[in-house]
Structure 1
Amino acid sequence: MKRIAILFLTGIISFSQMAKADEGMWLLPLVSKLNMNKMQEMGMKLSAEDIYSVNNSSLKDAIVIFGRGCTGEMISDQGLILTNHHCGYGNIQELSSVDHNYLKDGFWAKSFDEELPAPGLSVTFLKYMTDVTEKVNAELNDDMSEADRAAKIKEVSAELVKEAQEGNEYQIRVQDYFEGNQFFLIAYEKFNDVRFVGAPPSSIGKFGFDTDNWMWPRHTGDFSMFRVYCGPDGKPAEYSKDNKPYKPAHHLPVSLKGVQMDDFAMTVGFPGSTQRYLTSWGIEERMQIVNEARIKPRGVKQDIWLKDMRADEKVNIQYASKFAGSANYWKNSIGMNRGLEKLNVLGQKRELETEFTNWVNADADRKAKYENVLAELEKSYANRASFVKATSFLAECQIRGAEVLYFAYRATGLEKALEEENQEDIDKAVAGLKKAGEGFFKDYNPETDRKVIGALLKMYNDDIEAKYHPSFYATINKKFKGDFQKFADYVYNKSVFMNEARFKAFLEKPSLKVLQKDYAFIGGVSSIEKYREIKGMEAESAIAIDKNNRLFTAGLFEMQPDKVFYPDANFTMRLSYGSVGDYEPKDGVKYKHFTTIEGIMEKEDPDNFEFEVPAKLKELWKNKDYGQYADAAGYMPVCFTSNNDITGGNSGSPVINAEGHLFGLAFDGNWEAMSGDIAFETELQKCINVDIRYVLFIIDKYAGATNLIDEMTLVK
């Protein structure tokens, strides 16, 4: 195992000028060895120490994990956070009501006292990363079983974490990279008092909604603002009126300089997940099974949701965040399949695998180590295909699809307590369910879910083999004659979990008999049980795939010693670099690298909620009242494209110029390169960004929130 690590490190440090400057999600501690020369050739004026430093203030100290799946950045010395509107959307929705609809109307705090606590929201700072590959690998050997290897990694990691946690309260973990060929110890500091500061109305923050999602040209002011608070000692603290705005070690100066073609552009953020070392069989599984299991059920569910959302403002508020989250990766899956096919990524992977096979067969030592790797991968993917299809559809149709089933499943703790007649546990379970019910029913419409239940349970029945059906399907077939809508209607009328009043009454006097006869509970429990059962069937193949992916990746390092490798995204901090630029999506079409407010007015459609334009914005446009935020040519910029390498999780990442100043906010990728999570497309892949001048224009001229402008460090 040591030999693999040594070969890997030699490979990455030998920088190849063949590597594309705009491809790669780079680990910040390695930037000085791998990327600085190229970045400085492209115009960057910062040093590696300016970007990542453990002992001094650096760019990394201004970047946060926002919530559980986005990036944000500090833009003042008073804890002010900028992120995407779609990243804050769930929190804005949670704080909204029919009387105070912040999604529709926007919100702006004109003082600290007006800022709204955002329950459950946190931001997390990276403190440091340390390569511990040698320490972990020193305890591993090639004769270990996968179970023994995993146990030893867990043991060594626990020792490393324990040592690193002495004298601090950081959250520390050991994270693997390159399919388990490299390991870093990472320390974080998490703050749980985060407050909502401001956001434009959705007609600005989500302009274009799902029609424009993943598309260019874009005209979306996709931003929102929050503030992180700390205790009087400057340390993380739970919400208290006595807390104060946090003073970060670094905040980003905000540039008014503007955006020009070929400008250097750098993003720093937390990309969620890529699979660029996936083999051809893994890509086939993703396209034909996983993506299809997203596309079909979500399409049906979203049509039902959207119809009810358009008919009722309350339902629209309840389902706005859920719909946006579902639709985002529904459309992504459609685009990914399209892009992978168009770019012939499968063909390219098969060529690489043929090259790998020939390389292995040319040397006896390599044959001993790698000869069976690809064959085992092919066999293992084939063996688990039906299992993956079943669990993927089960997750989309029942666990994430029919909302009430998973909510009802959460009563299993109460069931156990009632069976054991343990009053203390019963009281605890009831209290937990009461709290869960408050959040669930606030954003739940039983009439809508009744339609979803009938449609998605039938889809699972029709598309998935009967041997993978949860046990309650037998009841549906027997008692309801296979009519899934009749089953859904029965649950709607009888279940204690589908009606808030019935739910509260049940918890006041919980009954084991009532619970165990409730079809929502029966359906939820049997769905989870079947999911776990099928996952167990898949386990052997999954272990084999993990092992052989690790070996295949290690073999690639050996086969291509002069290539610069970067690890797949895994929601740890990464840097990407590139430049502002246009692109040609198809023959005869060329997209310029920026859009303006003129495009908003061209797209306006008062009869389509996706393209409504606020009256105040139209007034500012008519009067050309852009203040200091207009481009030198006189127009009001809105968005621009760069060729930075991003994926989900990078939403909200700052786009930083050569001087280290914020000049854009990343929020999307482009439709023509949806294959990017698996294969970076060097000619077409674009990062879509909000021009920071449009953000400032909306805050200042549209909202009049000059207090927020005054906090920032503006650089002309």
Structure 2
Amino acid sequence: MKKTLLLLSLVAAPALAGEGKWTPQQVLELDPAWLRAQGLQVSPKKLWDPKRGTGLLAGAVNVGGCSGAFIAASGLVITNHHCAFGVIQEHSTPQRDLITQGFLASKREDELPGKGSRVQVPRSFTDVTKTVLAAVPADADDITRYKAIERKQKELVAECEKRPATRCQVATFDGGVNYTLVDAVELTDVRLVYAPPRAVGEYGGEEDNWMWPRHTGDFAILRAYTAPDGTSAPYSDKNVPYKAEFFFPLATQGVKPNDFVMVLGYPGMTYRALLAEEMAERQSRLYPRMRDVFGEAIRILEAEGEKDPAGKIAVASQLKGLHNVYKNSGGQLAGLKRGHIVEKQREAEAAVAVWAKKAGAKWQPALDARAALLVEQSAIAKSFDREFLLAASSRLARGPALAVVVSRLAAERAKPDLERRPEYMEREHVRIKDRLERDQKNLFLPAERQLLLAFVRRAQALGAEERIAAVDKHFGKTFSEKDVLAKIDAMYAGSKVLTLDERMKMATESVGQLEARKDPLLAFGLDLAKEQAALDEVKDKRQGAALRLRPEWRKAVLAHAGKPVAPDANSTLRVSFAKVQGYAPRDGAIYTPQTTLSGMLAKHTGEEPFDVPEKVSKVAEAKRFGAWQDKKLKDIPVNFLSDADTTGGNSGSPTVNGKGQLVGVNFDRVWENVANDFGYNPDVARNVNVDVRYILWMLDQVEDADVLLRELGVRKGPPVAGETR
């Protein structure tokens, strides 16, 4: 009887404790008794207050495509080392290699500003579904539907952003079932306070990436600043640290197996709402092609970077991103196969279809929508190769990518702001400028030459119906390595696109002015931009069809579930409830949920990627653990696992305990869990976190960052004004 009552009390709870990236609003829909039973010790209303539109969850912030968290009222933000990598690279030179050596500001004046770095603090979430859908004309065709919805989203964002220092978006949930206006304060003065040496922040490198056991100190500390009156402001030596209303104190006791944790952040994209056949297309074509194209780019960048110390620094950021995508795509393929995810999705769809048919005419539109979506998917597959290569071009050679940006910026600037593509509207110009400037650090001509050669080779191998006209025009229709390299050399030699001052001038010019330059690389970019713009129109029409059809099907799926269902990730604030636990990846193997300093030293070979920095190894080998030793492990915990539901974008997410204290920083998933994007599997759904005690050990025993530790509240005594060490 007691068991029956317990089951009844959990009706509004998710079926699996770790499953679900819940929105702030949904947290209040979950059964408080279930949350308490899991280990939540604060009131759900403390996590999110619907009257104020904020709460403890707002301590988790968006850090430019990653997540982060305030860990002190004085604007300190913790995130991943790889999320702060751009700032570290920006200030690195062969003479002062902060990537390799790490960085600790001795006082606040020494903290390093990050060009284009931003922190967004969530302020409110407003349901605007009725407003958005009311903007669609009756009997609108698909392209009209898409344009009407996009325009209304732009109008809502423009109205929201009339307030200064505000960044807004209209987020789409469940394929168009719901639209939510997200309002955030944007802080634009963000500075690097601490980054460990690369051999700590990336310990294990690509060999350990996505793997377990792990011993990686993937964390960094930033600080957000404002004007003296508390308003957001660009970098100035007069600025003061941001006063954070919500932050996560550090839990110096850390975690132990089976402890309750929450992972908060901004997961990017998941694909659980896709139809089985859409998933199958990604499995059969998209991920294999990503492995092929980006794998080649990685080999080129590594080979060219090894020839020149400055070149190695220049390609480091691009190489890091490509490595991550490459290995992720391999994990997706392995996980889709191992978990039989496509087959399970087919079964789930079939169950919804049977239910819908029994329910009568009410759900017939949902069945019709599913059938129409399958027809749309079949049509898209026919032009896959050309579309993939056009999209991938922006991740390969930087020269053509920069030429495309200034070309598209010029074309879009000629339109009224609300008619421009969202990524080229006036509100994005500061970001575009930052990117055009920041990419100067990523340019390395020998790598450029080989990357563009590889792109042209692939484009010239496309079939007659899939040609990229810009490539045919500038490089010919048949491949000859000697001829193409000669044309590339001439193109770069005669171009000013790679010259920063000239590129910034180009960003202010019209299409006519750009054409008048007679710059060969820019001319290629102008032609490539036209093809990308035409493809965008095709994709808009497809998206219009999806916005017409997918909501009908998703409504049936949600009704069939009969309980709260967390929507796919879409870069908005979410929370996942979890437990610290290990897993069994395969027959005969059982992984414990914690790793230690001793395990890190056991991996040490003295060569990359397992080369523990001397200043770290000396302290570790001497067992100078300080106050951070785990009594049961008799060691310093380095990383731990939990069964949180995470994905890309959760990098840097705060992992907090039931009291709202920070116990770790999420930075990865295990290899067997990569395909979690398509479906949650409780047996292998594990995310990887840096243990807060390792962070504190590094700051205390290795770096002697006494004042920073006092500022973080883990050492007695007030911090010295103006200092971080």
TM-score by length of 2: 0.87
Question: Does residue 1:404 correspond to 2:403, yes or no?
Answer: no
Q: Say whether the 8 Å CA contact 1:231–1:237 is kept in structure 2.
A: yes
Deviation at 1:643, TM superposition (A): 0.4
Amino acid across the alignment from 1:40:
R
How far does the alpha carbon of each residue in 1:669-712 deviate from its partner, in whole angstroms, 9 at most, with x for none?
Answer: 11011111111111101010000000111112111211111101
Question: Does residue 1:695 correspond to 2:692, yes or no?
Answer: no
Deviation at 1:139, TM superposition (A): 6.8
Amino acid across the alignment from 2:630:
D
Q: Say whether the 8 Å CA contact 2:496–2:519 is kept in structure 1.
A: no
Q: Say whether the 8 Å CA contact 1:257–1:715 is kept in structure 2.
A: no
Aligned ranges 1:109-128 → 2 under 5 Å = 109-128=105-124
Alpha-carbon distance change, 237 to 542 in structure 1, aligned in 2, over 3 angstroms: closer
Question: Does residue 1:395 correspond to 2:391, yes or no?
Answer: yes
Aligned ranges 1:5-16 → 2 under 5 Å = 15-16=11-12
Amino acid across the alignment from 2:644:
N
Q: Distance in 2 between matches of 1:391 and 1:539?
A: 14
Q: Distance in 1 between matches of 2:152 and 2:406?
A: 37
Aligned ranges 1:144-163 → 2 under 5 Å = 145-146=141-142, 149-150=145-146, 153=149
Query: Hey, what does 1:490 align to over in structure 2?
Result: 487
Query: Hey, what does 1:252 align to over in structure 2?
Result: 248
Deviation at 1:19, TM superposition (A): 1.1
How far does the alpha carbon of each residue in 1:165-200 deviate from its partner, in whole angstroms, 9 at most, with x for none?
Answer: 787763344322111111222221011011111100
Amino acid across the alignment from 2:291:
I
Q: Distance in 2 between matches of 1:334 and 1:107?
A: 33
Deviation at 1:243, TM superposition (A): 0.8
Structure 2 gaps of 5+ residues are 1-8, 412-430, 717-725
Q: Say whether the 8 Å CA contact 1:415–1:512 is kept in structure 2.
A: no
Q: Distance in 2 between matches of 1:640 and 1:435?
A: 36
Q: Say whether the 8 Å CA contact 2:407–2:514 is kept in structure 1.
A: no
Deviation at 1:553, TM superposition (A): 0.5
Query: Hey, what does 1:638 align to over in structure 2?
Result: 638
Query: Hey, what does 2:590 align to over in structure 1?
Result: 590
Aligned ranges 1:19-30 → 2 under 5 Å = 19-30=15-26
Deviation at 1:14, TM superposition (A): 9.2
Q: Distance in 1 between matches of 2:378 and 2:301?
A: 36
Aligned ranges 1:282-293 → 2 under 5 Å = 282-293=278-289
Q: 2:261 aligns with which of 245, 259, 265?
A: 265
Q: Say whether the 8 Å CA contact 1:73–1:81 is kept in structure 2.
A: yes
Q: Say whether the 8 Å CA contact 1:450–1:489 is kept in structure 2.
A: no
How far does the alpha carbon of each residue in 1:262-305 deviate from its partner, in whole angstroms, 9 at most, with x for none?
Answer: 00010111111111111012112222232233211110010111
Q: Distance in 1 between matches of 2:174 and 2:515?
A: 50
Query: Hey, what does 1:617 align to over in structure 2?
Result: 616
Higher deviation after alignment, 214-223 or 341-350:
341-350
Aligned ranges 1:655-694 → 2 under 5 Å = 655-694=655-694
Q: Say whether the 8 Å CA contact 1:276–1:677 is kept in structure 2.
A: yes
Alpha-carbon distance change, 164 to 216 in structure 1, aligned in 2, over 3 angstroms: same
Q: Distance in 2 between matches of 1:439 and 1:301?
A: 21
Query: Hey, what does 1:473 align to over in structure 2?
Result: 472
Query: Identity across aligned pairs (percent)?
Result: 28
Give SS of 1:319's match: helix
Structure 1 gaps of 5+ residues are 1-12, 417-431
How far does the alpha carbon of each residue in 1:432-491 deviate from its partner, in whole angstroms, 9 at most, with x for none?
Answer: 99997754443211111111222232123325555332243255337xx62145313432
Q: Distance in 2 between matches of 1:165 and 1:411?
A: 25
Q: Distance in 2 between matches of 1:110 and 1:215?
A: 35
Q: Distance in 1 between matches of 2:440 and 2:160?
A: 42
Give SS of 2:192's match: strand
Alpha-carbon distance change, 436 to 412 in structure 1, aligned in 2, over 3 angstroms: same
Query: Hey, what does 1:227 align to over in structure 2?
Result: 223
How far does the alpha carbon of each residue in 1:526-571 deviate from its partner, in whole angstroms, 9 at most, with x for none?
Answer: 33323333444455444323322221101112333x2321111111
Q: Distance in 1 between matches of 2:75 and 2:637?
A: 27
Query: Hey, what does 1:426 align to over in structure 2?
Result: none
Q: Distance in 1 between matches of 2:481 and 2:158?
A: 52
Q: Say whether the 8 Å CA contact 1:265–1:655 is kept in structure 2.
A: yes
Q: Say whether the 8 Å CA contact 2:80–2:652 is kept in structure 1.
A: yes
Deviation at 1:59, TM superposition (A): 1.4
Alpha-carbon distance change, 35 to 216 in structure 1, aligned in 2, over 3 angstroms: farther
Q: Say whether the 8 Å CA contact 1:387–1:537 is kept in structure 2.
A: no
Alpha-carbon distance change, 241 to 20 in structure 1, aligned in 2, over 3 angstroms: same
Give SS of 1:495's match: helix
Alpha-carbon distance change, 40 to 290 in structure 1, aligned in 2, over 3 angstroms: same
Query: Hey, what does 1:331 align to over in structure 2?
Result: 327
Alpha-carbon distance change, 346 to 513 in structure 1, aligned in 2, over 3 angstroms: closer
Deviation at 1:601, TM superposition (A): 1.4
Deviation at 1:133, TM superposition (A): 3.7
Aligned ranges 1:81-92 → 2 under 5 Å = 81-92=77-88
How far does the alpha carbon of each residue in 1:119-149 deviate from its partner, in whole angstroms, 9 at most, with x for none?
Answer: 2111010012233445556777985554555
Amino acid across the alignment from 1:242:
K
Higher deviation after alignment, 249-258 or 581-590:
249-258
Deviation at 1:573, TM superposition (A): 0.5
Higher deviation after alignment, 167-176 or 524-533:
167-176
Q: Distance in 2 between matches of 1:232 and 1:434?
A: 26
Q: Distance in 1 between matches of 2:116 and 2:537?
A: 33
Amino acid across the alignment from 1:524:
G
Query: Hey, what does 1:422 align to over in structure 2?
Result: none
Alpha-carbon distance change, 519 to 645 in structure 1, aligned in 2, over 3 angstroms: same
Query: Hey, what does 1:543 align to over in structure 2?
Result: 544
Q: Distance in 1 between matches of 2:166 and 2:452?
A: 43
Q: Distance in 2 between matches of 1:672 and 1:302?
A: 23
Query: Hey, what does 1:215 align to over in structure 2?
Result: 211
Deviation at 1:217, TM superposition (A): 0.7
Query: Hey, what does 2:603 align to over in structure 1?
Result: 603
Deviation at 1:330, TM superposition (A): 1.3
Q: Distance in 1 between matches of 2:87 and 2:94?
A: 15
Deviation at 1:578, TM superposition (A): 0.9
Higher deviation after alignment, 269-278 or 129-138:
129-138
Q: Distance in 1 between matches of 2:644 and 2:84?
A: 23
Give SS of 2:213's match: coil
Query: Hey, what does 2:3 align to over in structure 1?
Result: none
Amino acid across the alignment from 1:456:
F
Deviation at 1:499, TM superposition (A): 7.3
Alpha-carbon distance change, 411 to 172 in structure 1, aligned in 2, over 3 angstroms: closer
Query: Hey, what does 1:70 align to over in structure 2?
Result: 66
Question: Does residue 1:362 correspond to 2:397, yes or no?
Answer: no
Higher deviation after alignment, 661-670 or 490-499:
490-499
Q: Distance in 2 between matches of 1:460 and 1:525?
A: 17
Q: Distance in 2 between matches of 1:292 and 1:483?
A: 26
Deviation at 1:658, TM superposition (A): 1.5
Aligned CA-pair RMSD? 3.3
Higher deviation after alignment, 689-698 or 522-531:
522-531
TM-score by length of 1: 0.88
Amino acid across the alignment from 1:614:
P
Give SS of 2:170's match: strand
Deviation at 1:498, TM superposition (A): 6.1
Aligned ranges 1:116-195 → 2 under 5 Å = 116-133=112-129, 136=132, 145-146=141-142, 149-150=145-146, 153=149, 170-195=166-191
Q: Distance in 1 between matches of 2:165 and 2:659?
A: 34
Give SS of 2:194's match: strand
Alpha-carbon distance change, 368 to 552 in structure 1, aligned in 2, over 3 angstroms: closer
Alpha-carbon distance change, 218 to 413 in structure 1, aligned in 2, over 3 angstroms: closer
Q: Say whether the 8 Å CA contact 2:176–2:550 is kept in structure 1.
A: no
Q: Say whether the 8 Å CA contact 1:476–1:484 is kept in structure 2.
A: no
Give SS of 2:28's match: helix
Q: Say whether the 8 Å CA contact 1:106–1:201 is kept in structure 2.
A: yes
Query: Hey, what does 2:454 align to over in structure 1?
Result: 455
Give SS of 1:311's match: coil
Q: Distance in 2 between matches of 1:647 and 1:413?
A: 31
Q: Distance in 1 between matches of 2:21 and 2:332?
A: 19
Query: Hey, what does 1:8 align to over in structure 2?
Result: none
